[in-house]
Structure 1
Amino acid sequence: MQNMESLLVHCIFFALLINCSISSSGDYSPYYQRCFEKCSLLNCTDDGLGFKNYEQPTILYYTRWACEDECRYNCMWKTVDAFHERKWRTPQFHGKWPFIRFMGMQEPASVIFSILNGIIHLKMICTYRKEVRPDSPLTWLWHSFFVVSIHAWFWSAVFHFRDFLLTEILDYACAFSMVLMNCYVMMIRLLRNKVPRFALVGLTMSFIAFLVSHVGYLSLGRIDYGYNMELNVIVGTFTAICWFGWCIYNRSRQRYVWKCAIFVALTGIVMLLEVIDRPPFFYVFDYHSLWHLSTAPLVVLIYSFAIDDSKYLRKKEMESSENKKIKLP
């Protein structure tokens, strides 16, 4: 029995080892390694940044494509062709699928769709400001939601434009800030008028401290992708369960809560696109970029809920104020 368990453990270990080894089979291949070594030797200066006999296009210079970066990019496509000639699957390079570069952008579709999300956030906050009075309850909360979201989508666009360690950390950190902000909005909305104000201040400080500690952890050396993903899933799932429970409880009194419920449900469904790891269509559209595209219309839904909810809260406050005036002697 123990021998069987030991065999099973070893099989799992080697399966994981094989999976890890082929995850970047392109840049590990001898063909790619020889191509990169030859390209660097013939074209690049000793530091790998400058070119010996080549005048780089202006757009690539300003988007910081160094000589070795150019060699990696060109050798990547040569390796892809070599793999396909042998009827092998499209390989990954440095943990990523090959993408066609456009105007210096490494992943143009993800850049454009990230910008699209930011534009829709901007358009919807303008709609919110037009339809909701500034003295309505929780207007500060939805404006904070907008600031965090627009900041996250900005760094998402920057990271997909050019992948550096700094832009990667900022992208992961800001993406988590958006997940955490959704949780914060949910808790403030559910606990409003149910706990003392100082408790909400303490809750706010706790969320900020948690975000800072998470960003600090991500910034220490190599990014812990597994931990970051698990934390996003845990916080997102907790937020979804709480929102669903609140929507079900208030469905008869606040008819508009279906918008929130649908937003949460669709957000969870489109997240499944992140699980699919396949070569990009036409080397432009991968499932991650399609996830960015699918989140864009959901922005309209959550702001529509925010507008209806703010109007509802203002109406309730006005009714409460009128009732107090009537009761006065």
Structure 2
Amino acid sequence: MFLKHLFILYISIEISGASVGDRSPYYQRCLEKCQLANCTEDGANFVGNFQQPTYLKLMAWSCEDECKYNCMWATVDSFHERKWKTPQFYGKWPFVRILGIQEPASVVFSLLNLYNHLKMIKIFHRRVRSDSPLYWLWFVYCMICSHAWAWSAIFHARDFPLTELLDYACAFSIVLINCYVMMFRVLRYIMPRFFFIVITVLFLALFANHTAYLSMGQFDYEYNMQINIIVGTITALCWFIWSVIYRYRQPYVWKCAMFVALTGLILLLELVDQPPIFYVFDYHSLWHLATAPLVLLIYSFAIDDCHFLRKTEIIDMQDERYKPKHR
């Protein structure tokens, strides 16, 4: 949703450094022994007759990755034997991989969001005439959000620098498209068309600059967090104020206000930093699950709003047609 990653710094800064688990001597010794016994010098391939399952090969699990995974669980068991808390490794909680997928719950729930976008845009297409105002804009919204959720699923399936970059960049694209839709809707009857052309160019430039900056050197989590907070907060406030102003003339705007309020509320899940339930369901994945129903809400608003705009413009055209002409 459009406030995605507003509080991500709370979690992400930890990712950039080491954690208790991977710093522990037990883990370091285990990793060293495993790599010396099983891996080639670059850590990419296996030595000896070890046959890695095909699905792990397809998911690009190298010998070094296998050693890290197995030593992670050995270290977790060692911590638990000493009655210590479950440690994090490289800034992340330990997850049980399923079919080579690192964070299976987050993958499934990201795909659920993707599915809801595709399902709702079909409903939108059936219920809204193609010549309705802002019809095209909601299709652009769907394409951008669907693309972002696809990369979210890919990133949680396998965490590589490239998939991380694309996940964060596409998450920002959701923040931007929500702001873009808000501006188009709120300022529709106020600003001239040229203004929206300029805004479109500026938004594209901002996204390109953001992605380019994140791809240079070490990933800047703080900058990413700050720009998401700024754009997301402005968008949320403007949507909410607009909904309050037009709540009587357009009763359906409660859906937009509810969408904004619930999006902010479920972000509290991102602040919970606890080990995953059954080592599968962490609070970030539950946040992904909580965002899925909100997709239905925002498209329901879009359908009602397009109906309202079409009806309003038809009435305005009729009024203009029958308006007395002065000679």
- TM-score, reference length from structure 1: 0.92
Is 1:50 the counterpart of 2:51? The answer is no
Residue aligning to 1:224: 220
Pick the aligned partner of 1:306 from 281, 297, 302.
302
> Which residue type is aligned with residue 52 of structure 1?
V
CA RMSD of aligned residues (A): 1.4
Pick the aligned partner of 1:37 from 21, 32, 41.
32
Alpha-carbon separation, structure 2, partners of 1:79 and 1:57: 24
1:103-122 equivalent positions in 2, closer than 5 A: 103-122=99-118
The aligned length equals 311
Residue aligning to 2:9: none
After superposition, the C-alpha distances for 1:50-79 in whole angstroms (9 at most, x for unaligned) are 111210000000110000000000000000
Alpha-carbon separation, structure 1, partners of 2:17 and 2:218: 20
Shift of 1:193: 2.2
Alpha-carbon separation, structure 2, partners of 1:71 and 1:52: 13
Is 1:246 the counterpart of 2:239? The answer is no
Residue aligning to 1:215: 211
1:144-183 equivalent positions in 2, closer than 5 A: 144-183=140-179
Q: 1:29 to 1:134 in 2, by over 3 A?
A: same
Alpha-carbon separation, structure 2, partners of 1:228 and 1:245: 26
After superposition, the C-alpha distances for 1:85-119 in whole angstroms (9 at most, x for unaligned) are 11111101011000000011000000000000000
Alpha-carbon separation, structure 2, partners of 1:101 and 1:265: 34
% identity of equivalent residues: 62
Would you say the 8 A contact 2:21–2:87 is kept in 1? yes
Shift of 1:47: 1.8
Would you say the 8 A contact 2:17–2:90 is kept in 1? no
> Which residue type is aligned with residue 219 of structure 1?
S
Where in structure 2 are there 5+ consecutive unaligned residues? 1-13
Is 1:80 the counterpart of 2:61? The answer is no
Alpha-carbon separation, structure 1, partners of 2:66 and 2:18: 22
> Which residue type is aligned with residue 65 of structure 1?
W
**Which is helix-richer, 1 or 2?**
1
Where in structure 1 are there 5+ consecutive unaligned residues? 1-18
Residue aligning to 1:125: 121
Shift of 1:21: 11
> Which residue type is aligned with residue 22 of structure 2?
D
Residue aligning to 1:263: 259
Q: 1:20 to 1:191 in 2, by over 3 A?
A: closer
After superposition, the C-alpha distances for 1:197-249 in whole angstroms (9 at most, x for unaligned) are 11110011111111111111110111111221122122111111101110011
After superposition, the C-alpha distances for 1:163-187 in whole angstroms (9 at most, x for unaligned) are 0000000000000110111111111
Pick the aligned partner of 2:134 from 135, 138, 158.
138
Shift of 1:328: 5.6
Pick the aligned partner of 2:95 from 93, 99, 104.
99
Q: Higher relative CO (CA 8 A, sep ≥ 6), structure 1 or 2?
A: 2
> Which residue type is aligned with residue 292 of structure 1?
H
